[in-house]
Amino acid sequence: MAILLSGAAGFIGSHVARCLLARGETVIGIDNLNSYYDVSLKQARLSQLMGDEKFTFHKIDIANRQALKTLFAKTHIDRIVHLAAQAGVRYSIENPDVYVSSNLQGHANMLELARRNQIRHMVYASSSSVYGGNTKTPFSEDDLTDDPVSFYGATKKSNELLSNSYAHLYRVPLTGLRFFTVYGPWGRPDMAYWIFTEKITSGQPLRIFNKGDMGRDFTYIDDIVDGVIRALDHSPVITTDGVPHRVYNLGNDSPEELMTMVSMIEEKLGTAAVKVFEEMQKGDVKRTWADISRARKELGYDPKITLEQGLSNFIDWYVGTWEQAGRKTVSR
């Protein structure tokens, strides 16, 4: 029995892989290793996994259904953790076609393979971006999500709708996880915490959008991984009339102001940043905050890492591992 992990070279995927391997699972990782951000970072994450005999990797694009079918034909896979997707709110405005291929066609392919191969359970990545223009906080899974303000958010909302349809029609057990601003070591260079750290250490000014009046429910990677594993182990119950599809928020339930994050990074680095305040960017939202009461009750999910501790861990990694190795990324 093996777990198929899509997006294995990604930030969340590589951390989930390490956790699954640590508990003795056999993991088959797939990723297309695209160049949305520094491919050497993805390869470095993979290199940490390749030494484990229970891990195998295949360079596959989830939009390629035939490649996926060939892989399934060779291996007995009983569960799927589907984290592969084209990420990035702002990039989705510039290049929507990439999101159609990966997030729509790719997700549909994974659903169809889960159905055809009678997968016991598939956990997939959704996003807080589905809440779009909602102004009521905290965001609850029962809130309407009919107003995505980014194309990325629209594709993630579509993933949830497709999943619900598959669960209803074919009784495929599916769990969607709405991630809230995940950060930490080995993270994504397009995220604000990485960009700010990189720019401060290289003496460049910070672009602060909406003139700093923004807030996020920053969620540390270890807490997110814990939620993913708990969801994987908690398959939705299939009943005669029920639909085996459940959606959960995975956040920290402790939103922080953007400028608070900037101050924490400055303090940790011992350097004051030059700040350039700009207007809100198209597709962005002012604040996010996850209501995690459903995940607490049903999964036992209980995030523990504060933003201050999490940023300290990231900066220690960035300065001591990534930057020390002479690696630099180009921030978008």
Residue 274 lies in a domain: no
Residue 37 lies in a domain: yes
Residue 211 lies in a domain: no
Residue 277 lies in a domain: no
Which pLDDT score, from 0 to 100, does residue 331 have?
43
The count of structural domains within the chain is: 1
Which pLDDT score, from 0 to 100, does residue 329 have?
54
Residue 287 domain boundaries = 2-180+221-252+283-304
CATH number where 56 lies: 3.40.50.720
Contacts for 101 with CB less than 8 Å, ≥ 6 apart: 63, 86
pTM: 0.95
Residue 42 lies in a domain: yes
Residue 315 lies in a domain: no
Active-site residue (options: 36, 152, 183, 220): 152
How far is 5 from 136, CA to CA, in rounded Å? 34
Which pLDDT score, from 0 to 100, does residue 255 have?
94
Contacts for 258 with CB less than 8 Å, ≥ 6 apart: 192, 208, 212, 213, 214, 215, 216
Contacts for 332 with CB less than 8 Å, ≥ 6 apart: 37, 88, 90, 91, 189, 190, 195
Residue 265 lies in a domain: no
Which pLDDT score, from 0 to 100, does residue 215 have?
93
Which pLDDT score, from 0 to 100, does residue 286 have?
86
Residue 296 lies in a domain: yes
Give yes or no: 36 in active site: no
pLDDT tens for the 332 residues of the chain, in order: 899 999 999 999 999 999 999 999 999 999 999 999 999 999 999 999 998 999 999 999 999 999 999 999 999 999 999 999 999 888 898 899 999 999 999 999 999 999 999 999 999 999 999 999 888 999 999 999 988 899 999 999 999 999 999 999 999 999 999 999 999 999 999 999 999 999 999 999 999 999 888 899 999 999 999 999 999 999 987 665 689 999 999 999 999 999 999 999 999 999 999 999 999 888 788 889 999 999 999 999 999 999 999 999 999 999 998 876 666 554 43
